Structure 1
Amino acid sequence: MLKFLRAKQSSDSRRTFLRKSVALVPIASIAGCDLSSTSSTTTAGTSATQASATPYTPVFFDAKEWTFVSAAVDRLIPTDSNGPGALDAGVPEFIDRQMDTPYAHGALWYMQGPFHEGPPELGYQLKLVPRDVYRMGIAAVERYCGKTYNKTFATLDAATRDTVLGQLEANKIELDDVPAGTFFAQLLQNTREGFFCDPVHGGNRNMVGWKTIGFPGARADFMDFVNQDGKPYPYGPVSIKGERT
């Protein structure tokens, strides 16, 4: 999927991919959020909307991990002439905030052993919860980049970062503690979610993801436009909290 998100893709192909990505964002992941905490306050005690005007301070990720996440999501959905990217949408903030939800702690999963690698149709079988996947995966990728390129991931040029991400996606890099494909899938899925979620969760800043694909957001009624295929939605999106752009 990485190939569809490269900066050189056409406007139509990028928009098509992003539209399809919406269908791949599972409701269960957003259902794991604690809206009572994520929608009303941040660590600074300000609203999510107010916080977007000032630099976000990560709570889960340390400085090196935060730099990695920002550099990685910037290549998964880059800002280019076709539209805004993951950094514009505040995706790193979304992912960091997700790490303090029941979802990231694995509280919604059955996490009793034994843990054995099984066929894909059996679903996720590892003992690692999302927080562990990120912590171990980032450290392992940074060790690989240091050994292979003598640089950190974020200091690699864009093309080399794409190469590393592509190798992770294809499971062509041997990482310690976590399968490369599992780490990439976690990162890509959360990047999609952060780009298309309601801003109440910390991502989709200024609803740039919704505007990119013409999604109306949390409007109470837009049935008049459901069957008007190919006709742009004439009104901007509305967030759960009533924010408009």
Structure 2
Amino acid sequence: MPSSPLSSRRGFLRTAIALVPAGTLAGCEVKQSATTAAAGSNEGANASADHAPRAHYQPHFFDAKEWAFIHAAVDRLIPPDSEGPGAVEAGVPEFIDRQMDTPYAHGALWYMQGPFAQGAPELGYQLKLVPRDLYRLGIAALNAYCAKTYAHPFDALDAATRDTVLAALEKGRIELADVPAATFFGQLLQNTREGYFCDPIHGGNRDMASWKMIGFPGARADFMDFVNQNGAAYPYGPVSIEGKRS
């Protein structure tokens, strides 16, 4: 990240929120989020020890190894700093796990009849793998790569090494069995962004922390008086879909 924390973190996250499609959550199952204590923010050698999951949330899709990977990975994609919480503290792992039970994750909203062939980028996604498959196959393959290369699974690596692995994954420089590396990274990054900025009803954005950080009003019924006040800070805190206020 660049040296200026204000321009770097907020600038990055403002850009990231613009990349989260509004329709992504259309198929989400709406559930009451579990109450939990915030996770820690230290960067030790083992992410699963550094950032404990929500005390009262048990994953429905991910097994223990996958759950440890999700925490370790999203912690490096959006780490905590002085401006706001990281992805783990914001509940992103819970958001991603809950998404795996939606029609979206099963590919129910996609045309999946084939043929499945490598096409030009402008043709969009062409694989036969739905999001659930990308996570299941991708996590197993990346942990196998890390065990072979570093003698430990991804979540047991130190923060700097995890960053190195994620950077190589993003650029497709790691050969994974059954799933393209860059595609797996893109899925993980997109869902991390969505979980960080979603309404808390979906499991992420705990306590509307990301909304407060960027000055987003949330689901307020009317804030038109402030639409044209470019650059002015919004004077009220955000409101969730359930009517909760920060």
Correspondences of 1:38-187 after superposition (within 5 Å): 38-39=30-31, 47-48=32-33, 50-52=34-36, 54-187=55-188
1:104-159 CA distance string (max 9 Å, x none): 00000000111001110000000000000000000000000000000111111111
The residue type paired with residue 92 of structure 2 is V
In 1: Cα distance, 2:84 partner to 2:113 partner: 44
What is the alpha-carbon distance in structure 1 between the residues aligned to residue 200 and residue 189 of structure 2? 19
Which amino acid counterpart does residue 16 of structure 2 have in structure 1?
Answer: S
Q: 2:7 aligns to what?
A: 12
**More displaced stretch, 80-89 vs 63-72:** 80-89
Structure 1 unaligned segments of length 5 or more: list them: 40-46
TM-score (norm 1): 0.90
Q: How far 1:32 sits from its partner (Å)? A: 1.8
Which of 25, 30, 34 is the equivalent residue of 1:30?
25
Distance 2:215 2:89 in 1: 17
Question: Aligned to 2:147, what secondary structure does the other structure show?
Answer: helix
Unpaired runs of at least 5, structure 2: 38-54
Return the offset for 1:12: 1.7
For 1:169 and 1:233, how far apart are their aligned partners in 2? Answer: 35
2:182 counterpart letter in structure 1: G
Work out whether residues 83 and 213 of structure 2, in 8 Å CA contact, stay in contact via their aligned partners in 1: no
Determine the C-alpha separation between the residues in 2 that align with 1:214 and 1:178: 38
Q: CA deviation at 1:186?
A: 0.2
Q: Pick from 16, 19, 24: which aligns with 1:21?
A: 16
Judge conservation of contact 2:107–2:131 (CA < 8 Å) in 1. Answer: yes
Instruction: Give the superposed CA RMSD.
Output: 1.3
Shift of 1:55: 3.1
Tell which deviates more after alignment, 52-61 or 153-162: 52-61
Matched, 1:190 2:185: no
TM-score of the superposed pair, with normalisation by structure 2: 0.90
Matched residue of 2:60: which SS? coil
Matched, 1:225 2:226: yes
Which amino acid is the alignment partner of residue 94 of structure 2? E
Report how far residue 52 of structure 1 moved.
3.8
TM superposition outliers: structure 1 runs of 4+ over 6 Å: none
Q: Percent identity?
A: 70
Contact 2:238 2:245 in 1 (8 A): yes
* Number of equivalenced pairs: 229
Q: Determine the C-alpha separation between the residues in 2 that align with 1:147 and 1:19.
A: 37
- Provide Cα deviations, 1:173-232, integer angstroms capped at 9, x if missing partner: 000000000000000000000000001101000001111111000000111111111211
- For 2:48, the equivalent position in structure 1 comes to none
CA contact (8 A) 1:52 1:205 kept: no
Indicate if the aligned counterparts of 2:215 and 2:234 stay in contact, CA closer than 8 A: yes
Q: Distance in 2 between matches of 1:107 and 1:52?
A: 31
Secondary structure at 1:183 match in 2: helix
